[in-house]
Structure formats: structure tokens, C-alpha cells
Amino acid sequence: MKKQIIVSGATGNLGKVVVGKLTGLGYDLHINVRNSAKAGDFDPAFVSTYEADLTDADQAEKFVSNAISKAGRIHAGVFLAGGFAPGKLEETTVQEIERMINMNFFTAFNLIKPLKAHFELNGGGQIILVGARPALVPAQGAASFAYTLSKSLLFQMADMINAEGKKTNVSASIVVPSIIDTPDNREAMPDADFNKWISPEDMAEGIAFILSETGSKMRETVLKLYHKA
């Protein structure tokens, strides 16, 4: 049976490359879009699209249940949706913390909640999340307080899923980039040495390995793709 995978953030800089890599490997993908016009960027032979804003728990739940109805069985979720915001603690408002947690934590949690139940009823499954280095190296987090806090929740959630998932064959892995070499980052940091950054292709390769036969046997995986940055 072809592996059926739900992907969030597929329309983003990393997401587009991950979609290319995973469809190239023969996986069937189920992705959400927030703007239906973006569905046209994907080949419907390999990618099924569903409209959902993932900060909305009902829309996320509907996305997962529609994908399950179409696929019959989902084997993995690759959750890339998220976003960055700078700002030190002194400058951070409660609203900004809520915005970052919505964007980086709830977009994943709202998918994991229904998908974990599906995995547990069907012999297991894999969850892959994208963390951020400052969540592991607090000294780097001062300049992006709310963002770092929101990403740190993903590590805690993955640990809890892995502890419980030992019995149910549900695993959560986190891929941690330094700086991804995207057009947005090049524009924001024009004087940086882009060769030190991690490419979206390398990120996609890492994700593909986690989904592979061998990779799916790894547990409590935190894959640090820092390259030279």
C-alpha cells in the first residue's frame, strides 16, 4: 500500500520542496490550503487539497477526517505550518505570545489530536514536526521570545506523544533547522553567508529519511540540521 501522508505548510518555502521530494518517492499527499487559489500549484494525481485554517480546531479536524475518508488509512503527518516573529521579552505582549502559539503550536496540535486517535486505532503512525534551534539553545532565544516559547511547546508535546506512543506505535520526530535557505531569509539577511544555511532540499531529505523503512524505526528523534550556521 502506498504511504498516505498529511502535510501542513505545503504552500510555504519549505513545504513546496518537501511536497516535491515526497511525491517523487511515490507517496500520496493530503495538504491543506488557506487560499483555494493555491491548490492549483499542486498535481492532483499525487496531492489532494483541502481548505483549512489550522488555528481553527474544527477546520483542522474536518481536514483530517476528510483526508482519512479519502485515503482510508493515513500513515504519517508532516506538520510544517508555522511562522517567525522577532521580539525580546520586554517588548512582547500577551497577544503576541498567543499569536505565535496559535501559529506554531495549535496548527500542529489541532491536526495531531484527531490523527493520533486514527493512528491508535490502526496500528500506529508517524508525526514529524519542525522545531527551531533557539528552543533547544535558550541563549539564542532572547531576540525572539514568543516564537521560541511557541516552538518549545512542540518539543514537550513530542516527548509526551513518544512516552505514550511506546504502547501504540505512535512516534513523534522533530526536525530542527538552523536557518533555512529561503528567498524570504535571503531578503531579510542579505549580508549573511547563505552557504552556511541549510537548504530546503536537505530538510526534505531528512524528513524523507524519517519516513523511510529504517527511519520509521527511529524513536524520540530530534534531527538537528544546522549545517554551518
Ligand X SMILES: NC(=O)c1ccc[n+]([C@@H]2O[C@H](COP(=O)([O-])OP(=O)(O)OC[C@H]3O[C@@H](n4cnc5c(N)ncnc54)[C@H](OP(=O)(O)O)[C@@H]3O)[C@@H](O)[C@H]2O)c1
CB closer to ligand X, 76 vs 132: 132
Q: Do 212 and 168 touch, CB atoms closer than 8 A?
A: no
Taking the alpha carbons at both ends of the chain, their separation in whole angstroms is: 39
- Class of residue 26 by CB neighbours under 10 A (exposed 0-12, middle 13-18, buried 19+): exposed
Among 3, 7, 9, 127, binds ligand X (CB under 6 A): 9
Does position 18 interact with ligand X (CB under 6 A)? The reply is: no
CB of 185 to ligand X, least distance (A): 5
Q: Which of residues 165-204 bind ligand X (CB under 6 A)?
A: 177, 179-180, 182, 185
The residue from 51, 53, 61, 202 that contacts ligand X (CB under 6 A) is 53
| Interface with ligand X (CB under 6 A), residue from 5, 54, 149, 211 | 54
Residue whose CB is less far from ligand X, 101 or 170 = 101
Please identify, using beta-carbon distances, which residue of 170 and 180 lies nearer to ligand X: 180
Q: What is the helix, strand, coil percentage profile of the chain, to 5?
A: 50, 20, 30
Q: Binding marks (x or -) toward ligand X, 65..104, rule CB under 6 A?
A: ---------------xxxxx------------------x-
Alpha-carbon distance 181 to 111, whole Å? 27
Query: How far is it, in rounded angstroms, from Cα 172 to Cα 222?
Result: 9
Between 142 and 171, how does the x/- string for binding to ligand X read (CB under 6 A)?
------------------------------
Which CB atom, from 122 or from 192, has the smaller least distance to ligand X?
192
Instruction: Compute the distance between CA of residue 78 and CA of residue 33 in angstroms, rounded to an integer.
Output: 14
Among 4-12, 114-122, 162-170, 218-226, the segment contacting ligand X (CB under 6 A): 4-12
Nearer to ligand X, 58 or 164 (CB): 58
Q: Which of 4, 48, 49, 107 binds ligand X (CB under 6 A)?
A: 107
| Number of helical (H) and strand (E) elements in the chain, helices listed first | 7, 7
Q: Cα dihedral sign for 124, 130, 133, 136?
A: negative
CB atoms within 10 A of CB 20: 15
What are the backbone angles phi and psi of residue 172, rounded to the nearest 5°? -120, 130
Q: Rank residues 101 and 130 by Cβ distance to ligand X and give the closer one.
A: 130
Residue 206 CA to residue 43 CA, distance in Å, equals 23
Q: Which residues bind ligand X (CB under 6 A)?
A: 8-9, 11-15, 32, 34-35, 53-55, 80-84, 103, 107, 130, 132, 177, 179-180, 182, 185
